[in-house]
Amino acid sequence: MVKFGIEFVPQEAYWKTIYYAIQAEKRGFDNLWITDHYNNRNVYVTLTAAAIYTKKIVLGPGVTNPYLINPVMTAQSIASLDELAPGRVVLGIGAGDKTTLAATGVEMRKPLTAVVETIEIFRRMMERKRVTFEGQVFKAVGTKFNFKPKGQIPIYVGAQGPKMLETAGKIGDGVLINASHPKDVDYAVDRVKKGVSEAGKKLTDVDVTAYASFSVHKQEEKAAKAAVPVAAFIVAGSPNVILERHDVDLKEADKIRAALKAGDFGQAFGSVSPEMIEAFSVCGTPDLCIEKINRLLKAGISQFVVGSPIGPNVRKSIDLISETIIPHFKK
């Protein structure tokens, strides 16, 4: 049965995010993902609060990166969180976002290698081994915890490019595919399958997760309006190969990039077309969203993550998802 996850960007006060986290648990969501960016609230502080105020929802960073948080410290944070919420902590790890990293003066060096090495260090640290590791990006020199981590933590790899997707299939317990459209998810699942088969695993051994920009409202126009800002940022951040896959005019995409860079949000958001919203979000009335999620299920996903903006009114949209969408898939 498909799992439903929900993503929150901790850009508002902690109590708002935690209010929604409690609501998500009450309304039947299985997973809670908190994003990790230096310019928002801290991911582990947010997850700690969420762990305290919830009882069963599975939670973790979605995703953290190894450049701003050293793999050993990620292992320490996750192991500590797992003491607080035993058996319901997962790690989402990816290479990070180039623009955000650049703002902190950190270079995204060898992203694929960095993620692979992080997972290796993380797993060995969680086994409470003394870790000596000489990687191309990271080192550990006789590193060991003074405490015993409680359990094995499922690792989800945030992936978009072909190599990272294959690697996720090969070494991950899950993969977080940053995509909302069947074209992108089909492509991604094919790459994951390649990695899975190279590792001698089955696709069902990996929790294939579509991490989608999502917006639901009883009125389609209101759902679409809420999705516009996120669609603008996705278009601006997408490589041309993905834009071309969706027949997005590259000149229009450049216009959005330039407007966002100049801080002209009116111009940027005004340039977002209905086709862009369709390509980069799951958006509409509950019935439309069900139809779109069904297409992603056919592509092979096992978890669907409701990501930002969720809807014009987050609280009402969570209730709407719980009343109309989740029961459709979990009846």
Partner 1 sequence: MAYQKIVKKIPVEKRDKLSDKLLNFVLKSKKEGEMPSGLANTILSKWQRGPLTTEEGLAALLEAAVLLESEKTMEFLEQELQLAAVAKAIKEAE
Cα dist from 177 to 38, 39, 41, 310, whole Å: 22, 23, 23, 17
Near partner 1 by CB under 8 A: residue from 19, 133, 269, 329: 19
Using an 8 Å Cβ cutoff, are 194 and 168 in contact?
no
Of residues 148 and 315, the one with the C-beta less far from partner 1: 315
Hey, which residues between 83 and 102 contact partner 1 (CB under 8 A)? none
- Which of 27, 40, 42, 53 contacts partner 1 by CB under 8 A? 53
Give min distance, CB of 311 to partner 1, in A: 13
Q: Cα–chain-centroid distance for residue 46?
A: 16
List the interface residues with partner 1, window 296-325 (CB under 8 A): 313-315
Quote the least distance from Cβ 325 to partner 1, whole Å: 21
Cβ-based neighbours of 321, under 8 Å, separated by 6 or more: 4, 27, 216, 286, 306, 310
What are the φ/ψ torsions at residue 173 (nearest 5 degrees)? -90, -15
On whether the CB atoms of residues 290 and 328 are closer than 8 A, the answer is yes
Contacts of 312 (CB under 8 A, 6+ apart): 215, 217, 222, 223, 225, 226
Q: Is 54 in the site for partner 1 (CB under 8 A)?
A: yes
Q: Which stretch binds partner 1 (CB under 8 A): 8-16, 68-76, 154-162, 211-219?
A: 8-16
Q: Is 16 in the site for partner 1 (CB under 8 A)?
A: yes
The secondary structure of 206-220 as a DSSP string is SEEEEEEEEEE-SSH
Q: Does 42 bind partner 1 (CB under 8 A)?
A: no
The count of chain residues that interact with partner 1, using the rule CB under 8 A, is 14
Q: Pick from 2, 3, 12, 133: which binds partner 1 (CB under 8 A)?
A: 12
Minimum CB–partner distance for residue 41 and partner 1 (Å): 11
Query: Is the distance from CB of 61 to CB of 92 less than 8 angstroms?
Result: yes
The answer to whether residue 265 forms part of the interface with partner 1 (CB under 8 A) is no
Residue 77 CA to chain centroid, in angstroms? 18
Please state the closest distance from residue 135 (CB atom) to partner 1, in A: 41
- For partner 1, the binding residues (CB under 8 A) are 12-16, 18-19, 22-23, 53-54, 313-315
